[in-house]
Amino acid sequence: MQTFVLAGGCFWCLDAVYRTLRGVSDVISGYTGGSVANPSYELVCTGTTNHAEAVAVTFDETEIPASIILDAFFTLHDPRQLNRQGADVGTQYRSAMFYADDEQKKLFEEAIARANDIWGGGVVTTLEPLGEFYRAEDYHQDFFAKNPGQGYCLAVAVPKVNKVRKAFGEYVRVA
């Protein structure tokens, strides 16, 4: 099992996408990359803590390759948008990959290179060492599944889920 900590806009979307992929055993929404211990959602939303909304994705490489986890990341969000994803604006919505060790850093660098090829350059995703990862409040965990009719989920998360399902169909969970 391996865990990647990734940030690409609102963590609800990343959570929704990764839960659809087989081999993913857990997705935890949280905050990392900032300067305040035990931040709350409200504090992170101010943009003053430098935390990113992120997910910790745990997966089994015998079922889904690490490269697919990372390529799905670069499919589900626009890594060329600096400190934003659509209407979500601020450093808390930055595109970032938080590496736990040199092996992850190398995998992440390779994924950024692939993304630059796919997106035609301009990828602004940052590579940051993984510091403390703080689990977000319970209501943020598995938000999409608990709130499928919520406006943001319908307008923003559903298209991202559908895009990844189309691109990586062979790795989508069978219901």
Place of tokens 């990359």: 33
Q: Which of 30, 81, 93, 59 is nearest to 168 (CA)?
A: 59
Of 72, 70, 91, 71, nearest in space to 81 by CA: 91
Say how many Å lie between the first and final Cα of the chain, rounded.
22
Residue positions annotated with a catalytic role: 10
Angstrom CA distances, 125 to 19, 98, 154, 155, stand at 22, 10, 26, 24
Cβ(143)–Cβ(17) below 8 Å: no
